[in-house]
Amino acid sequence: MASMPERQVSTQAVYRPESKLGQLWKRIKQNKVSYFFVAPYGILFFMFTVLPVAVAIYLSFTHYNMLQPPRWVGWENYLRLLLADDIFLIAVKNTFVFAVVTGPLSYLASFVFAWLINELKPRIRAFLTLLLYAPSISGSLYLIWTIMFSGDSYGFINSRLLYLGIVKEPIQFLTDPKWMMSVVIIVVLWMSLGTSFLAFIAGLQGIDSSLYEAAAVDGIRNRWQELFFITLPQMRGYLMFGAIMAITSSFAAAEQIIPLVGFPSTDYAGHTIVAHLIDYGNVRFEMGMASAIAVILFFTMVISQRLVQRLLDKIGT
């Protein structure tokens, strides 16, 4: 069946060289089945993701207060953000500090724990996986950290410090700009074993065990050699996935941060790019500005993803 269409192409080519478009159409028709496979997902994805993103990009060049129709203003929103909005620059700085710490650490932790757990016996492994993943599944229970770090004497940590006489006055963990970022980073790292952690566990599960047996015969001596010569190269696809999840969650963080440090936080010390976006979108109803922030954030993530990709490409080569 595969040879038939090829012969047709070659005979036609003698008389009438086919146009590029015609060839493309032929390939599309040959792959009809593939299009049926992607169509249901693709149509919904187009409607509920691609279209809204396109509209948001358009809105980033307009003034839009959700009551009057959008008015085209060109690059004005972008210029305002970069030149006239001091708080945006604070948010950018905070986001970079936050992302540079939590991104790599949560990525590394997800892989290291998935890898270490992988050699334990199933039952103890299932138990430890549950304990390590529990913070990600805890829903609203993560707000226990607001009680942990609460600034009055009933805060768990403050009460201990006062009780033991280490401090005389409770420390304002959640409102003092000196402490805020550290506290937020601790809480987010506490929840860092999430999506990528599970993907890594399942991925490690899928590596053919005969590879390891063969490697042991070939003279692999310890767990580190095994990691670098077999496990990491086998995991490359998942590592790419994990990197992107780490980048998106660390750069777009706001929803876990706002309940902890308040909105807006004291001196904007816990203000991130997405917190600023929420400020424009949900508080001031300036959707044009909010969309411009989303576009800037998008390109920031794309650039950092390219950089990380370069590092990942070096694995196992």
Partner 1 sequence: MIRRLRQKFWTTKPTRSFGGDLAVLLFIAAAAAFSALPLVYAISNAFKPLNELFLWPPQFFVRNPTMANFYDLLVLMSSSWVPFSRYLVNTLVITLGGTVGHVVLASLAAYALAKHDFPGSKWMFSVVVLSLMFAKQVTAIPNYLITSVLGLVDTHWAIILPAWAMSLGLFLMKQFIEAMIPDALLESARIEGASEWTIFWKIVMPNVRPGWLTLIILSFQALWGETGGQFIYSEQLKTLPYALSQIVSGGIARAGVAAAVGVIMMILPITVFVINQSKVIETMGASGIK
Backbone torsions φ then ψ of 87, nearest 5 degrees: -70, -35
Residues 56-95 that bind partner 1 (CB under 8 A): 56, 59, 66
CB of 133 to partner 1, least distance (A): 7
For residue 235, CA distances in Å to 18, 199, 202, 313 come to: 42, 10, 11, 12
Q: Report the C-alpha gap between 33 and 39 in whole angstroms.
A: 10
Q: Does 117 bind partner 1 (CB under 8 A)?
A: yes
Q: Does 42 bind partner 1 (CB under 8 A)?
A: yes
Q: Does 7 bind partner 1 (CB under 8 A)?
A: no
Q: Report the C-alpha gap between 135 and 9 in whole angstroms.
A: 59
Q: Write out the two tokens for 42.
A: 């693709």
CB of 18 to partner 1, least distance (A): 15
CB of 163 to partner 1, least distance (A): 5
| 185: nearest Cα among 277, 89, 103, 87 | 103
Binding partner 1 by CB under 8 A: which of 81, 253, 297, 308?
297
Binding partner 1 by CB under 8 A: which of 108, 134, 167, 315?
134
Q: Give start and end residues of each alpha helix (H) in 155-194.
A: 156-163, 177-190
Place of tokens 């899928």: 206
Binding partner 1 by CB under 8 A: which of 120, 166, 167, 283?
120
| 102: nearest Cα among 295, 309, 257, 268 | 257
Q: Does 3 bind partner 1 (CB under 8 A)?
A: no
Compute how many residues bind partner 1; rule: CB under 8 A: 112
Binding partner 1 by CB under 8 A: which of 10, 11, 16, 40?
40
Q: Does 185 bind partner 1 (CB under 8 A)?
A: no
| 300: nearest Cα among 22, 59, 100 | 100
Binding partner 1 by CB under 8 A: which of 100, 202, 283, 307?
202
Which residue's CB is nearer to partner 1, number 51 or number 311?
51
How far is the first Cα of the chain from the last one, in angstroms, to the nearest whole number?
39
Q: Report the C-alpha gap between 73 and 92 in whole angstroms.
A: 24
Which residue's CB is nearer to partner 1, number 177 or number 195?
195
Binding partner 1 by CB under 8 A: which of 17, 69, 74, 139?
139
Residues 225-284 that bind partner 1 (CB under 8 A): 225-226, 234-235, 237-238, 240-241, 244-245, 247-248, 251-252, 274, 277-278, 281-282
Q: Report the C-alpha gap between 166 and 157 in whole angstroms.
A: 11
CB of 274 to partner 1, least distance (A): 6
Query: Which residues are paired to 168 by β-bridges?
Result: none
Residues 160-179 that bind partner 1 (CB under 8 A): 160, 162-163
Which residue's CB is nearer to partner 1, number 160 or number 267?
160
Q: Report the C-alpha gap between 300 and 297 in whole angstroms.
A: 5
Q: Does 212 bind partner 1 (CB under 8 A)?
A: yes
For residue 132, CA distances in Å to 26, 62, 122, 194 come to: 51, 45, 15, 9
CB of 298 to partner 1, least distance (A): 5
